[in-house]
Amino acid sequence: MDTIHIEEGEHIILTVRKHWLILLRDSLGTLVVAVAPFVLFGMVSFAGFVPVVELANPYVVFATALWILLIWMTLAIIWTNYYLDIWILTDRRIFIIEQVGLFDRRVSTWGLERIQQITVEHQNVVEFMFGYGTLTVQTAGLSDHDLSTPGIPRPERVRTKILHQIGTIGRLEAMTKKQSEMIKTISHEAKGYLARDAAALAEIVEQPEGVPANVKKLAGSALGETRRGVSELMGILSGDAQQGEMTMERIRFDLVDTVRDAVELARPLAEAKGLALTVHAPSSLMFDGDPAKLRDVVIKNLIENAIHYTEKGSVTVSVSAHDGARISIADTGIGLSEDDRVKLFSEGGRGESARALNPHSTGFGLHIAKSIVEAHGGRIAALSDGRGKGSTFVVELPTLA
């Protein structure tokens, strides 16, 4: 028996069964056929053309029971087919389910992108008066792939729904194409700006004389951050823009080394604010995934956020292994309200104090970090006892390979 498979993200728009008059027509036709032999036999017996047979005759009883059983089976098939024959329109496809007898079901699937024309026909006055007709779907390909289904109630409405969804798909495809082109443009422009900044900083760093040592040191740190920013930006934008996904590597690496690298990248920021930045981790923890994205977009981002929102005290990074890997970044900062926790990982979501303490925040960093963690099969969460009580961000990654 065939079944339909609704894909993730696919939504059912409309379900259609044949018009009730089809069921009534087929049922009444079967009942007429059922009583016809009895009426005919009574008429010819009454006219004297055949001898009268006693109703209690076992042969008559057996034939009558067999006939009634056959009629009931026919009605059961008619009713079953009526209930199980169905059209399903989703936002991507059309499913046509046909019940064949009592025990077999056929499912045909038609992608909306293949449909070229849809026509409606009322074959007689009865169909027009009762509002049903034949719906014919013509698709790209051979003519025998076209589908013609009679008995569809309100076929004009069904046709309109299908055409509207086809139009929606066309508009979405056009929007996706424009979005892809826009992302490419933004990627090119952003990379250009960052590259020019990196060139200016490199010139300061490489000046043999006339530039104070502390300025060179700051420029060198900024140069490293800018180059990492270029790499991070291109990594985020390197995915399939049409699918809304990022390209992920799958390599074996030491997660502890990756966490320690992220800590060292963020250490100058912590030192500038006079915060203690410590790491507690085992000597090694092997993992399969994308080390660059986990380091730059997830762990480093979480550590820098903790530093931004901590005025005094410390930021502690911990790594542990138990049925996978658990990375926690705990701070003694401003903490989180319940409202903050609800919206932190949404697109553009920021806490109440984000603008004051971290004016450069766009609100998308944690959303992107969440998508990367989930792409690794893990989860990310924010914990806090409330305002002024610090916060802990936890990243849990699945069982190590």
Contact between 89 and 162 under an 8 Å Cβ cutoff? The reply is: yes
Band (298; pLDDT cuts 50, 70, 90) = very high
CATH topology of domain 12-165: PH-domain like (2.30.29)
pLDDT reading at 299 higher than 90: yes
Q: What is the widest separation between alpha-carbon atoms in the chain?
A: 132
The model's pTM is 0.47
Q: What is the pLDDT of residue 52?
A: 56
Measured in whole angstroms, the distance separating CA 340 from the mean position of its chain's CA atoms is 26
Q: How far apart are CA 394 and CA 328, in angstroms?
A: 4
CA atoms within 13 A on the CB side of 84: 20
Dihedral of alpha carbons 124, 129, 130, 135, sign? positive
CATH number for the domain formed by residue range(s) 251-397 = 3.30.565.10
Band (241; pLDDT cuts 50, 70, 90) = very low
**For the residues 133-147, what does the mean pLDDT come to?**
70
Query: Tokens 């004389």 sit at which residue?
Result: 209
* Residue 98: strand pairing partners: 106
In the numeric block, which tokens belong to residue 143? 């003519």
Band (94; pLDDT cuts 50, 70, 90) = confident
357 CB burial (10 A radius; 0-12, 13-18, 19+): middle
Q: What is the pLDDT of residue 296?
A: 86
What digits encode the pLDDT tens for the residues 339-367?
777 778 776 555 555 454 544 445 567 88
Q: How far apart are CA 288 and CA 291, in angstroms?
A: 8
